Structure 1
Amino acid sequence: MNRPRSIEFELPFGFEDEEGNIHRQGRLRIPTQKDLTVVLKIYGDVQNPAYLETLMLVRILESLGNIELDADNRQQIVESLPLPDIEYLNSIYQKLLSGHSAGPASAPTGSKRE
């Protein structure tokens, strides 16, 4: 059985770019030991577990809307997301760590921006 190497998601609120476009759909890949090693090598011993998870999200975010992600903008975009979006991505990250990837993930009902 082939397991997916990434998971699609839809953020509750999304990232608003400079033109006012909201980007909510994206993809996270399964984290690797190398991701953790690189984060710890660059940032040292991160004392705040929540910030470590945010840094890991920066590493494993493959796509968000039609934004061209690169090393220069990826961290700024993740750190600019509303906290409910970060919490939502962290829940997906935890599922990926535990080996659960039940297909596309949608935002919790009632949490979308109107």
Structure 2
Amino acid sequence: MAFQTEYDFELPRGYVDDQGNLHRRGTMRLATAADEILPMKDPRVQSNPSYLTVILMARVVTRLGDVKHVDTRLIEKLFTADLAYLQNLYRQINDLESPKVLAVCPKCDHEHEVAIDFLSLTEALS
């Protein structure tokens, strides 16, 4: 079995380019140490730590629809729902453990933790 380093996704809303074309399907790769460390030197991050997300997504999103190059300007133009989706996907594919929620069985009322698999959920909704 091959080690997976890239993950396909579909944005909930999508990126609208300057010509009015909608781009929703893309690919995100696993982050490297450099992806998380190097942006910390960027003056935009130093003056606004929230900008780290924009730079990080521009580094790891390798494809979005027919767009030739994903950069920070493109990420800045995403709808907030799409940026939140990418942040969740980033956490899921780069963390060792999936996020968990407490669930209650509707039949027996037993409480247990359930791992959330955003990738499978996205595929099921498509």
Aligned residue in 2 for 1:88:
85
Q: Paired residue for 2:109?
A: none
User: 1:100: Cα distance to partner?
Assistant: 6.3
What is the Cα deviation at residue 46 of structure 1? Answer: 6.5
Name which of structure 1's ranges 31-40 and 74-83 shifts more when overlaid on structure 2.
31-40
Kindly report structure 1 stretches of 4+ aligned residues shifted beyond 2 Å: 41-48, 99-109
Gaps of 5+ in 2: 99-116
Letter in 2 for 1:4: Q
More strand by share: 2
Percent same amino acid at aligned positions? 27
* 1:24-43 superposed matches below 5 A: 24-43=24-43
Residue 14 of structure 1, CA deviation: 0.7
Matching residue's letter, 1:82: F
**How far apart are 1:32 and its partner, in Å?**
0.6
C-alpha distance in 2, partners of 1:46/1:107?
Answer: 38
Q: Greater CA radius of gyration, 1 or 2?
A: 2
The higher-RCO structure (CA 8 Å, 6+ apart) is: 1
Q: TM-score, normalised by structure 2?
A: 0.70
Closer/same/farther in 2, CA of residues 57 and 92 from structure 1, 3 Å limit: same
State the aligned residue count: 105
1:9–1:27 distance in 2 versus 1, CA, 3 Å:
same
Structure 1: runs of 5 or more not aligned: 110-114
- In the alignment, the residues of structure 2 paired with residue 65 and residue 27 of structure 1 have an alpha-carbon distance, to the nearest angstrom, of 9
Q: 2 CA distance for matches of 1:35 and 1:96?
A: 14
In the aligned structure 1, how far is the partner of 2:27 from the partner of 2:17? 18
- Separation (CA, whole Å) in 2 of partners of 1:39 and 1:108: 34
Q: Secondary structure at the match of 1:88?
A: helix
**Which residue is 1:98 aligned to?**
95
**CA 100–23 in structure 1, closer or farther in 2 if over 3 Å, else same:** farther
CA RMSD of aligned residues (A): 2.7
The residue aligned with 2:73 is 76
Q: Which amino acid aligns with 1:106?
A: T
TM-score by length of 1: 0.77
Q: Which moved more, 1:96-105 or 1:61-70?
A: 96-105
